[in-house]
């Protein structure tokens, strides 16, 4: 039970951190402005993103909101179907919901765009935000859970297929 409470609190903290950080960046930087946060590693670069990752589907707010709602419904379905049986799935769904809510709040209240501001300075990667991090963590946890399930299933099959061979006793007799 403690794990479920911690997952819920952590997801809420992700959502609060996401909204606070977006508010802070939008009030203290001009759109397009960049600040070396950790020089050579992470920049704070304030942009408005009206698309999804890499700006895909830019300007299609209603489609992106619809996709977000579908993903969030899938997160709720995960919680209802497996969440209380599998702690990892519960954590994953909680993170995906927190990230989805964070970005949906932006799209609804910011004329269809999300505030992105985290930029890796050492690679060419799209600018993102904390809600995106929560979604990626949730998706990663689902993949880990899936891999674990596959491994567990293979182990069960291997054990079921093992045929015990007769053992010799100390005299060489079977």
Annotated catalytic residue: which of 18, 36, 50, 116? 116
Annotated catalytic residue: which of 132, 152, 169, 173? 132
Q: Is 173 a catalytic residue?
A: no
CA angle 136, 139, 142 (to 5 degrees): 150
114 to 45, 48, 90, 91, 155: CA distances (angstroms): 13, 6, 26, 24, 44
C-beta separation of 95 from 14 below 8 A: yes
d(C-alpha 115, C-alpha 101), whole Å: 13
Q: Look up residue 133 and give its two tokens.
A: 């991090």
Sign of CA dihedral 108, 110, 113, 115: negative
Among residues 139, 62, 141, the alpha carbon closest in space to that of 99 is found at 139
Q: Is 132 a catalytic residue?
A: yes
**E strand map for 63-153:** 114-120
C-beta separation of 127 from 117 below 8 A: yes
List, by residue number, the catalytic residues. Answer: 116, 132
């Amino acid at each position: 039970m403690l794990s479920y409470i911690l997952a819920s609190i952590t997801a809420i903290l992700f959502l609060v951190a996401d909204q606070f950080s977006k508010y802070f960046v939008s009030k203290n930087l001009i759109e397009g402005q960049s600040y070396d946060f950790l020089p050579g590693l992470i920049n704070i670069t304030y942009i408005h993103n009206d698309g999804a990752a890499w700006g895909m589907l830019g300007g299609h707010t209603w489609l992106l909101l619809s996709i977000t709602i579908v993903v969030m419904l899938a997160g709720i379905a995960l919680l209802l179907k497996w969440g209380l049986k599998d702690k990892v799935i519960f954590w994953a769904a909680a993170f995906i919901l927190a990230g989805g809510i964070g970005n949906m709040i932006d799209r609804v209240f910011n004329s269809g765009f999300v505030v992105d501001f985290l930029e890796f300075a050492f690679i060419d990667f799209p600018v993102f935000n904390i809600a995106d991090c929560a979604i990626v963590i949730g998706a990663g946890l689902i993949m880990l859970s899936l891999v674990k399930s596959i491994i567990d299933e293979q182990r069960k099959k291997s054990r079921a297929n093992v045929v015990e061979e007769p053992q010799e006793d100390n005299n060489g007799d079977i």
